[in-house]
A and B are shown apart, each in its own frame.
Chain A
Amino acid sequence: MEDSKSRRKKKVLLMGKSGSGKSSMRSIVFSNYVAKDTRRLGATIDVEHNHVRFLGGLTLNLWDCGGQDAFIDNYLNSQRDHIFKHVEVLIYVFDIESREFDRDLITYVNCVEALRDNSPNAHIFCLIHKMDLVQLDYRDAAFQERSALLRKKSLGMEITCFATSIWDETLYKAWASIVYTLIPNGPILERHLTAFAEIAEAEEVILFERTTFLVIAHVTRGGVANPFPDRFEKISNIVKQFKQSCSKMASNFTAFELRAHKFSAFIDILTPNTYILVVMPANAAESTTTLMNIATCRKHFEKLEVIDKAVGK
């Protein structure tokens, strides 16, 4: 019992130097803040625990660890076991503008060491953050340099690096792939989604988590490749922006339908935890047909989530 509980409760550590943007990031992804509202956030004191219900069965247990030196000492020494045990994912945030990168690196290595001792199977994600402050031409070079250095210093643990900024969609890209590693049934979902896309003759089907609008799974069919490889996080961003303006009216959107000349797109609620985006080629099917298809597969995906819960137990 205890075991199954912990399996569905995923502990995620969010660490990094003070002021590197951990809490801002968390507020945008999980609490529907807009980027400019994060100015209001104060410094995080000690550890802030957040339980984010994600995909019904799954709960993200997000530990937002304040990054001031005194706290970090504390984590590494007296609270070492408490903090670093049972960690599924460590997200370490680096400020690209930081003047003392070497010092950041030492703290990072200490944290990784503590993690290796306590939860050797954890994934590490390094986010090189505040990329918007670097000139466009230098961004890639700066990112490559930092990530190469980090890889060397990670004591042999597997790490994934992302360049992020709260001002554009790179944030969603990083978080979508973090979340993907946490979902137990990702491949199953993808398989069923592919089947659905085949039946509905859709060009592209994307599954989003409901509150965060992060991409969980996507299927692309059809001949011509989309010129936007980063479209998934772009869509997350677009929809999140609109949700923000809906919230000004104390509302939220439930369904969206767009019939353009070259395609039609439908966004609809699929299960209590997910939204689905279906893109149909032009003149492929009447829009009501597609809506019917979505309604029919709704039951199936709901069942899928229930089964998943049962398997978890």
Chain B
Amino acid sequence: MEDPSPPLQSPTPSKVSMQNGLVSRVRGAPRPRLLLQGQRRSGKSSISSVVFHKMPPTETLFLESTTRIQKEPVNLTWKPLMDSSFMDFQVWDFPGQIDYNDGTFDLETLFGDTGALIYVIDAQDEYLEALTRLHQTIEAIQRHNPAINIEVFIHKVDGLSDDFKLDTQRDIVQRTTDELADMGLDGVHINYHLTSIYDHSIFEAFSKVIQKLLPELGTLENLLNGLVSNCRIEKAFLFDVLSKIYVATDSSPVDVQSYEICSDYIDVVLDMTEIYGYDRGDLEVSTVEETKSSIGSSEDWSLPDQSSVMKLQNGMVLFLREINKFLALICIMRKESFEKRGLIDYNVQVFQQALEKVFELHR
């Protein structure tokens, strides 16, 4: 997992771009990279562990502090997408201690291919210093690659009351706007997210960040809109199953509840698949080893057409359908709309084919 990444201070920064940029250069398309930054102990490694490694939030207490840049294997999670060249991400977990502004870094390399900078601020701590660093970072970005999306995660808000959360956010926004205005950088757009690893907010924030970097987002949304209106679905999400980030949703507003229930629903499906998805012995012996090693992971999703239905007491139905190796479509709809199940199955199939075409186009 841990890629022995060359420290960025090395005098030959081209090494970095060799590793990260080679493939993309061959393809001729820039390869977006997510940079995770923030003061030390602000929770960067915890975030990437929870979101991309399925680590239970309580265990992040034992994480050591990061001393060098770790390229997170998001590319593992997104591998099938990479294969179809649909999406291609890396998260760089940036150590809090390194002062990258002192000129020893090649900022061109650092920011060159970056799609989004996620700056993590610990809301439970004194954040003035963190803000100063943020402002410096923004300034550097503006000089080198103004196209980067700047996303500020106001993190660890689980310990704060609702009022105080909003006050903190307002304060941070105000200070940043003022400071940037003083620097003469009025036009910089910054997105703020209140996050915590103990609930779904961190997944939602990541979903939003990643969606912005998707060139096909519009197409996906249109496809989902078509599906939603034709099947009378209330809300449809396209989930990356392992990270529980949603890649796209229809254009109706997202409420937290429906996102949460979908993400918990994925848990149920995955857990049940893990328990009963063992090998029944009717396959060839050679595959036994493979299946064993990957119970609960990707392998169970590799064959098409896994589907699931959950009926709720309040007349809602959750419908899950595997789209490809890592993506699943989850729809929330009323019981009445679910009566013509065959029709829905067919429509979803059409949607699936359309998605495949989108992926192929980008190959």
Contacts and interface: CB of A to CB of B under 8 A. Distances in A.
Given A224-B280, A231-B275, A242-B267, A251 B312 contact: yes
A257 B338 CA distance: 14
A249 interface: yes
Given A242-B267, A251-B316, A252-B313, A258 B278 contact: no
Contacts of A223: 280-281
Contacts of B216: none
A212 B347 CA distance: 38
B313 A253 contact: yes
Interface string B245-283: 000000000000100110011011101110111111100
A103 B130 CA distance: 51
B316 to A, nearest CB: 7
Contacts of B276: 204, 226, 231, 260, 262-263, 265, 279
A260 B273 contact: yes
Interface string B300-313: 10010111111111
B137 to A, nearest CB: 35
A226 B295 CA distance: 12
B314 interface: yes
Contacts of B306: 258-261
A234 interface: yes
A224 B279 contact: yes
A238 B309 contact: no
A262 to B, nearest CB: 5
Contacts of B265: 242
Looking at B261, B268, B295, the one whose CB has the most chain A CB atoms below 10 A away is B268
A188 to B, nearest CB: 27
Contacts, number: 106
Interface in A219-257: 222-224, 226-228, 231, 234-235, 238-239, 241-242, 245-246, 248-257
A153 B188 CA distance: 73
A235 to B, nearest CB: 7
A258 B275 contact: no
A260 B268 contact: no
A281 interface: yes
B325 to A, nearest CB: 13
Given A246-B261, A251-B314, A261-B303, A238 B281 contact: no
Nearest to B278: A227
Looking at A223, A250, A254, the one whose CB has the most chain B CB atoms below 10 A away is A254
A250 B314 contact: yes
A241 B300 CA distance: 22
B308 A246 contact: no
B239 to A, nearest CB: 15
B141 to A, nearest CB: 38
B280 A245 contact: no
Interface residues of A, number: 36
A249 B314 contact: yes
Contact of A254 (B261, B303, B312): B312
Given A246-B261, A248-B260, A251-B314, A241 B267 contact: yes
Contacts of B309: 255-257
A85 to B, nearest CB: 41
Nearest to A282: B280
Nearest to B264: A245
Looking at B275, B295, B303, the one whose CB has the most chain A CB atoms below 10 A away is B275
Contacts of A256: 268, 308-311
Contacts of A234: 271, 275
A197 to B, nearest CB: 15
A242 B264 contact: yes
Interface in A163-217: 204
Given A224-B280, A226-B278, A241-B267, A253 B273 contact: no
Given A227-B278, A257-B308, A257-B309, A249 B261 contact: yes
Interface of A: 204, 222-224, 226-228, 231, 234-235, 238-239, 241-242, 245-246, 248-263, 265, 279, 281-282
Given A241-B264, A260-B276, 19 more contacts: A226-B275, A238-B272, A245-B260, A245-B264, A248-B260, A249-B312, A251-B316, A253-B310, A254-B313, A256-B311, A257-B310, A258-B269, A258-B307, A258-B308, A260-B300, A261-B303, A263-B277, A279-B276, A281-B280
Please give me the 4 A-B residue pairs with the lowest Cβ-Cβ distance, nearest first. Answer: A251-B314, A245-B264, A255-B311, A258-B308
29 contacts: A224-B278, A224-B280, A226-B278, A227-B278, A231-B275, A238-B267, A238-B271, A238-B272, A242-B264, A245-B261, A248-B257, A248-B260, A249-B257, A249-B312, A251-B314, A251-B316, A253-B311, A254-B311, A255-B309, A255-B310, A256-B309, A257-B309, A258-B269, A258-B273, A258-B306, A258-B308, A260-B277, A261-B277, A279-B276
